[in-house]
């Protein structure tokens, strides 16, 4: 089961998050959900638009970093909010992500907007497996 918590005591000017999942897909979903929850009440996002993303990296932490950077980029470049994710991660030589993400254009009259996330940072960034669970910690620049 994917989940996330905000780590209020880890970053004073930014937002620190710890996300967890039984699988890599759940971890990546929880991380994306937490990222958008910082910006908006995600319960108000409808799945009107679908985008397909393909990413690849030799390391799982690099893949998660690229994943979060990409969805933040799409928010900025296409004025989109996302609230649903269908992710598949495979590993041969590299980790490969194929994801369908669902959302809609930002509408301030409809969406309960919070603060804007500018970027994912490398500060305190980590991804690891412990006791059969995947865990990540990351800081968002707001």
More reliable by pLDDT, 9 or 19? 19
Residue 114 tokens, joined: 């919070």
Q: What is the pLDDT of residue 14?
A: 86
What pLDDT score was predicted for residue 20? 96
Q: Is the pLDDT of residue 3 over 90?
A: no
Cα–Cα distances (Å) from 109 to 46, 106, 116, in that order, read 14, 9, 16
For residues 25-39, give the mean pLDDT: 97
Average pLDDT over residues 40-49: 96
Q: Which two tokens stand for residue 79?
A: 């004025």
* Separation between Cα atoms, residue 10 and residue 35, nearest integer Å: 16
* pLDDT of 28 higher than 60: yes
Query: Could you give all domains of the chain from N- to C-terminal order, each with its CATH number?
Result: 3-141 (3.55.10.10)
> pLDDT of 54-75, one tens digit each?
999 999 999 999 999 999 999 9
Q: Give mean pLDDT, residues 14-23.
A: 93
The pLDDT mean for the chain works out to: 93
Of 44, 124, 27, the C-alpha closest to 82 is 44
Residue with the larger pLDDT of the pair 121 and 4: 121
Residue-wise pLDDT tens digits, 82-109 = 999 999 999 999 999 999 999 999 999 9
């Amino acid at each position: 089961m994917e989940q996330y918590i905000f780590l209020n005591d880890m970053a004073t000017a930014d937002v620190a998050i710890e996300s967890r999942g039984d699988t890599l897909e759940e971890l990546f979903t929880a991380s994306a959900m937490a990222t958008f929850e910082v910006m908006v009440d995600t319960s108000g996002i409808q799945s009107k638009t679908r985008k397909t993303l393909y990413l690849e990296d030799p390391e799982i932490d690099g893949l998660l970093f690229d994943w979060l950077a990409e969805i933040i980029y799409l928010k900025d470049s296409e004025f989109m909010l996302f609230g649903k994710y269908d992710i598949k991660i495979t590993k041969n030589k590299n980790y490969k992500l194929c994801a369908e993400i669902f959302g809609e254009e930002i509408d301030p009259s409809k969406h309960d907007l919070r603060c804007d996330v500018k970027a994912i940072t490398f500060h305190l960034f980590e991804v690891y497996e412990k006791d059969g669970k995947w865990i990540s910690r990351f800081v968002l620049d707001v």
